[in-house]
Amino acid sequence: MWEIDELQKDAFDFIIAFDVAEHMTGSELHSLFAWVKGHLSKKGRMILKFPEGTSPFGLAAQNGDFTHVTTLTRLKLEVLCRESGMALLSYKDDILSSNSLCSRGLPGIIVLKAIQFHANFLKMMLRLLLYPLSRYSSFATNSIAVVADESYEQ
């Protein structure tokens, strides 16, 4: 997008890149963050979703696709933010979702909520158990990061 002439004059409230960043090289990610820094509005944010690189559950998606060239983690995003004058506002697990369960009405939504609760409980237990080994371990399939200019005020 940093090469598209029509986008060079605009400022954006949101730049959303779901399942994009893992397809970019480190150099392209640096270019993306530099471009975003110059093209977010004062209250603008960039939202990224990608396979979680510190999770055994995210690595299956990351390594299962030849077009995935960069494994992303919270620490890598913090470096990208710091080097580009951006701030990492939020970094969370992507919530488990299911269109097929939700399409079944209230019973499907209840089942999905039960699965989400169970998954979150298991993740919490794994974090407690493995924290001494690696405090940066995650058990998310995907992570969602929200990034803004470092001068952003919530």
Phi first, then psi, for residue 42 (nearest 5°) are -55, -40
Task: Give the pLDDT of residue 35.
Answer: 93
The tens-digit pLDDT sequence of the chain (154 residues) is 667 666 777 889 999 999 999 999 999 999 999 999 999 998 999 999 999 998 887 888 888 889 999 999 999 999 999 999 999 999 988 776 667 877 888 988 888 888 878 877 887 787 787 766 666 667 778 899 999 998 876 6
Task: Give the pLDDT of residue 151.
Answer: 85
The burial class, CB within 10 Å (0-12 / 13-18 / 19+), for 146 is: middle
- The domain spans of the chain are 5-96+137-149
Q: Which residues pair with 91 in a beta bridge?
A: 145
pTM equals 0.78
* Angle value at C-alpha 52, between 36 and 89, nearest 5 degrees: 45
Domain 5-96+137-149 has CATH 3.40.50.300: no
